[in-house]
Structure 1
Amino acid sequence: MENNKCQTEEGIEVPWEQINPDTLRRMIQEFVSRDGADWDQDGCSLEEKVEQVLGQLRNGRVRVVFDLKSETANLVAGDERKT
């Protein structure tokens, strides 16, 4: 069963600490502004939202996952199934 699990998984977790800080910041900016998200309605600036996500990365509530199929990185909730 373990072999089957490995074959169906498509992504790998990337330690956020190993990502260039500028690249990580751009990833987070793209993430918080994705799909027309109106973060300004919460009374927060883009920079404040970026800092919130950085905090969530630090405490494990958010992870960076690289999707092998699409060859893209994404931010996901820390409690989502680890690969």
Structure 2
Amino acid sequence: MIVPWQDIPEETLRNLIEHFVLREGTDYGETEISFDDKVTQVVNLLKNKEAVVVYSELHETVDIKLCRDLSSGSSA
């Protein structure tokens, strides 16, 4: 189930985004991106509808998913 990110309390959303950024691993590009910049990028992905917050009733978890990674058969 997709949860509107705007409905999530600010501190909770920030924690969720930080967890997502930390899981994504290290940036091996030519330019290192700061943690805060990565958080801002994820916020922008949510605002631009390129990512969504998903709640799994089965697993009782909340996660951020990139829209391009969601399969067409997903129950999200």
- Whether 1:31 aligns to 2:20 is yes
- Whether 1:70 aligns to 2:49 is no
List, as ranges, runs of 4+ consecutive aligned residues in structure 1 with deviation greater than 3 Å.
39-42
Which one has a larger percent helix, Structure 1 or Structure 2?
1
Q: Is contact 1:39-1:49 (8 Å) kept?
A: no
Deviations 1:23-59 (CA, angstroms, capped at 9, x unpaired): 1011010111116x11486411111100000000000
Distance 1:45 1:56 in 2: 17
Using structure 2 for the length normalisation, give the TM-score.
0.82
Q: In structure 1, list runs of 5 or more residues that go unmatched.
A: 1-11
Q: In structure 2, list runs of 5 or more residues that go unmatched.
A: none
Using structure 1 for the length normalisation, give the TM-score.
0.76
Distance 2:49 2:21 in 1: 17
| Larger-gyration structure (1/2) | 1
State the superposition RMSD in angstroms. Answer: 1.8
* Identity between Structure 1 and Structure 2 (%): 31
1:21 to 1:40, Cα distance in 2 relative to 1, 3 A: farther
